[in-house]
Amino acid sequence: MKKIKGGVTSPKGFKAAATAGGIKYQNRDDMALIASDVPCKVAGTFTKNIVKAAPVKWCQEIVKNSENAQAVVVNSGIANACTGTQGYAYCQETAGEVAKVLNISQNAVLIGSTGVIGKQLPIDKIKVGIQNLCKIKSDLLESGTKAAKAIMTTDTAEKELAVEIELDGVTVTIGGMCKGSGMIHPDMCTMLSFVTSDVAISKDLLQKALSVVVDDTYNMISVDGDTSTNDTVLLMANGMAGNTLIKEENDDYHKFIEALKEINTCLAKKIAGDGEGATALFEAKVIGAESKEQAKIISKSIITSSLTKAAIFGHDANWGRILCAMGYSGAIFDPEKVDLFFESVAGKMQIIKDGVALDYSEAEATKILSQEAVTAIADIKMGGESATAWGCDLTYDYIKINADYRS
């Protein structure tokens, strides 16, 4: 597997574009298009929030019932959530417009929206934006980057990535972009993530691969414990790499899964590290677990704890809050057997052994915790399973951003 510079336009046959639709923001791109030259198989995972945005409902329908998809159109600024039948009708109009301009079926057009909940889309502006997007779409790497920028809301940087793998001597490429910074506590998948590939694979296996990977990546991050109404991951595969069609769980399938996991782990970590107001990526690794499920529950509880997140912001080795968060996670373990370590580029040190504090140096711990990415490792000494979850620190800027987001 080789990481390459690029994003959604890296796989063969994928183009992208961005434009300033004037949906909410001034003087910046806020609409993006990804389109494939040929029809794609598509897989998707969506929020488990029962309050689902109109574009989520639209995409669920396409992923379930359409044989193919060929384009995704995304806007930032307005989430098109809690917008009733009018909101869903706007999805139809949006897809209809893309279909008309690209000369494809309306049922081949996926839609993503992110931003304020409860406002209706300015559908006329959306239509003008679509005309522009379809005119300028290109397979240049910079088009992918522009698209990744256009879907940002409170994100501070665009998030994109591409990898290449070889399947039977043929180069297969996967590219992805995503956005997400607040209302991040995915239960199925996170805000918006779009992954493209030129792999040839059956629709069933494409969905299976995505579902497996999402569980270990997007579903293991949290910024603020709020599961969004719009969480969507879409994976489009157009088969243009020319590899032998993957239609069973063979070696090629597993190589593809591995690459897909790499892409989505990196994208998910980018979301966690760019959490609203965050100054640090905070990783929690639980090892020595009886089951993977147990390790997941505990690691996610650690990165979700507001008190732990505030301590990370303060570079404070307040390990009691970590043990506390493990204790209320719902998973069963023996607190008096837990070993805890902190690790970063500045070093690694053990803080507690068998549930009780060692005589560690606070200065040394603070140095380790003052880096841009810090990890807490908890060994619960019950078995051989492990899991990792990713979050961020809780800062003044999270409050600043969210006390006045709408205005």
Q: Half-sphere exposure (CA, 13 Å, Cβ side) for 135?
A: 7
Nearest to 297 by CA among 284, 278, 306, 309: 284
Residue 38 contacts its own copies per CB under 8 A: no
Nearer Cβ to its own copies, position 328 or 345?
A: 328
Residue 382 contacts its own copies per CB under 8 A: no
Out of 20, 116, 123, 128, name the contact with its own copies by CB under 8 A: 116
Phi, psi of 345, deg, nearest 5 = -60, -20
Residue 221 gets which letter from DSSP?
B
Nearest to 226 by CA among 276, 176, 274, 270: 276
Q: How far is CA 190 from CA 182, 225, 238, 249, 264, in A?
A: 10, 12, 23, 26, 11
List the catalytic residue out of 190, 196, 217, 395.
Answer: 190
Query: End-to-end CA distance of the chain, in Å?
Result: 45
DSSP string, 312-344: HHTT---HHHHHHHHHTSS----GGG-EEEEEE
Is position 47 annotated as part of the catalytic site? no
Q: In angstroms, rounded to a whole number, what is the distance separating the alpha carbons of residues 407 and 384?
A: 50
Out of 29, 224, 339, 343, name the contact with its own copies by CB under 8 A: 224
Out of 326, 365, 376, 380, name the contact with its own copies by CB under 8 A: 326
Out of 194, 253, 390, 398, name the contact with its own copies by CB under 8 A: 398
CB atoms within 10 A of CB 143: 23
Q: At 63, list the tokens.
A: 């992923």
Residue 328 contacts its own copies per CB under 8 A: yes
Residue 79 contacts its own copies per CB under 8 A: yes
Minimum gap (Å) between residue 137 Cβ and its own copies: 31
Using the contact rule CB under 8 A, the part of the chain among 11-19, 77-85, 367-375, 384-392 near its own copies is 77-85
Out of 319, 341, 342, 390, name the contact with its own copies by CB under 8 A: 319
Residue 117 contacts its own copies per CB under 8 A: yes
Residue 232 contacts its own copies per CB under 8 A: no
Residues belonging to the active site: 190
For its own copies, the binding residues (CB under 8 A) are 48-52, 79, 81-84, 116-118, 182-183, 185, 187, 224-229, 304-307, 310-311, 313-314, 316, 318-321, 323-328, 332-333, 335-336, 352, 354-357, 394-396, 398-400, 402-407
